[in-house]
Amino acid sequence: MGIRYLTHGLILLFIVAIHPVSLLGQSPEIKSDKSWQMGAFAGVSQYFGDVSNKTYFEKLSGESKFSFGLLARKHLNEKIGLGLSFSRSSLFSQKENTSTAIPIFLEYSGHSNQYVFHSYLNLSNIFYGYADRKAYIYGTIGIGYASWDGALTNYQTNTVITDFATAVSQNYSLGAPMIPIALGIEFPLSPSLRFNIESSLTTLLSDDIDYYKDGYQYDFLAHTHIGLNYYVGVSQPKTRKPARYRPTLTHWEPSAQVTVVDYERFPLTPVEKAPKIELPPLKLPETQVEATPQAKPGFEFRVQIYAKRQPVSSPSVIYRHINFEYPVVENYFNGIYRYSTGSFRTYSEAESYARNLQSRGVYDAFVVAYENNIRVTITPEMKR
């Protein structure tokens, strides 16, 4: 189980490596959410290793213990961030070893402290674009160090086999590097406060946490947490209240008597109109406009962007991140559903639009010709 989760994490890192532009780029109309996130979380922890033979759900009854922690994270933009976290987990597990002549009933009980530096990926914004959502799916992957203490006992005889006080003398370590991978969902409660649910798997690069070696190369810790996070520095629009006009009730009186003088009105002297000057009509030399070469009547050129033996539910899902200037049309020909866009009179116009789509990520775009909505072969005469 642990190897499967670790593989998923490596796949996620591969996606990050091949799409650096999509992670660091941002739409010009969206401001970067360069904020700090402070959070606290708590939940249950589970141990998987040599002294363990139960699944995640089986461990919920008896082998799941309390875990809690704190985190601080800097968001570089709406998609990625970097952070530090600390967590403390209680561990408990039992297993019966029948491979020996006398069966041993093993029980491990202990605690672990984990210190992690991690990267944060807002998967909702990465794959579907930035938007105000009611929930955000995110993932984290990091590297850190875990220390532990505990005891391995025989729970039938209640005798200690190994504990942290004697582990070093038996060549067992009390700490090791680790690789944690997490997947969670975050719910905004306000612009600055969010609630999240997170599940993580930590691969310990050691086989010594339970002071017992029985086939597993690494030990694993699983956590399920709920948390509350406060975002510091979130930009919020500020509304300015309009100023209220308050009329003055003070009555003004002039300090001296004002004399009103009536002036005699004189009619204005009429202005003579200037004579109208008529200009001769302007004649431009006639120019011959060359006719734009166009396709043979009845033909039209399009740009094909996709083809498949099974139809798609909607042409808009073919390329979700590209806005086409023309409608996408579906045509069925020779057992294949073909999807094209645009309608051009000349081959050069269609070829120019196909190159434009190729530069925007539609790498399979090329020019095709249709006559009465039927696919036809493009001849050299049609390209002229």
| Phi, psi of 52, rounded to the nearest 5 degrees | -165, 135
Bridge partners (DSSP) listed for residue 219: 204
Average pLDDT of the chain to the nearest whole number = 79
* Percentage of the residues of the chain whose pLDDT score is greater than 90: 37
Architecture (CATH level 2) of domain 299-383: 2-Layer Sandwich (3.30)
pLDDT of residue 352: 93
Average pLDDT over residues 203-219: 85
- pLDDT, greater one: 120 or 297: 120
Query: CA-to-CA distance for 148 and 107, rounded, in angstroms?
Result: 16
pLDDT of residue 132: 77
pLDDT of residue 31: 39
User: CA torsion 273→276→277→280, rounded to 10°?
Assistant: 170
pLDDT of residue 262: 52
| Phi, psi of 195, rounded to the nearest 5 degrees | -110, 140
- pLDDT, greater one: 337 or 87: 87
pLDDT of residue 96: 82
Long-range contacts, 236-245 (Cβ 8 Å, 24+): 236/191
* Percentage of the residues of the chain whose pLDDT score is greater than 70: 72
Average pLDDT over residues 251-272: 54
Which range of 18-27, 77-86, 99-108, 130-139 scores highest in mean pLDDT? It is 77-86
User: Which sequence spans correspond to the domains of the chain?
Assistant: 2-20+31-232, 299-383
Distance in Å from the first CA to the final CA of the chain: 63
Fold of 2-20+31-232: Porin (2.40.160)
- pLDDT, greater one: 274 or 36: 36
Residue 13 host element (H or E)? helix 2-18
pLDDT band at residue 129 under the 50/70/90 scheme: confident
| Phi, psi of 32, rounded to the nearest 5 degrees | -65, 135
User: CA torsion 288→289→293→299, rounded to 10°?
Assistant: -110
pLDDT digits (tens, 9 = 90+) for 25-43: 433 333 345 689 999 999 9
- pLDDT, greater one: 298 or 135: 135
pLDDT of residue 10: 44
